[in-house]
Amino acid sequence: MKFLQQANSIFKDIDAHQDGQVSFVLDSEHFLFDEHFPGFPVVPASLIMEFINLCVAERYTQEGVKFSISNAKFLNPMVPGNTYTCKFKVRSSEALFFSISDDAGKDYNKGIVSFMSESEVEHAA
């Protein structure tokens, strides 16, 4: 949980399950929610992507492997105080599907994580 500890300021009660799922609560007392947005606090998309990034770095990467997030969809606004679960499903040896939902099964985010070796990254540039 080395990487996930970095997310601990706004994401609380982080629980990395054995099956690769990660549950968390958004801290309703965090100062960010006073400003984003007053009267209707929501999590900025950039923080959601950073959380996915940290989860993938923690669980799925190895030395010499890079990854990118694509086809990210923001289906519903994530609000503080709720418990969410981030699930990962292996699509192939080169890709994962991710989704974030609440305890009732409502989907909030989904997308694809693609993996590449460092040499593939160098040849693509």
Statement: residue 78 has pLDDT above 80: yes
Tokens of 103: 């305890």
Predicted confidence at residue 20, as pLDDT, reads 84
Distance CA 27, CA 48 (A): 14
Interstrand relation of 22-26 and 11-16 (parallel, antiparallel or unpaired): antiparallel
Statement: residue 1 has pLDDT above 60: no
Top-ranked range on mean pLDDT: pick from 30-44, 52-66, 70-84, 111-125: 70-84
Predicted confidence at residue 63, as pLDDT, reads 78
pLDDT in tens, 13-56: 999 998 889 999 999 988 888 888 889 999 999 999 999 998 89
pLDDT in tens, 98-114: 999 999 999 999 999 99
Domain ranges of the chain: 4-124
Please say whether the structural domain 4-124 has been given the CATH code 3.10.129.10: yes
Q: Radius of gyration over alpha carbons of the chain, in Å?
A: 15
CA distances from 5 to 20, 24, 58 (A): 16, 12, 10
Specify whether the CB–CB gap between 115 and 68 falls below 8 A: no
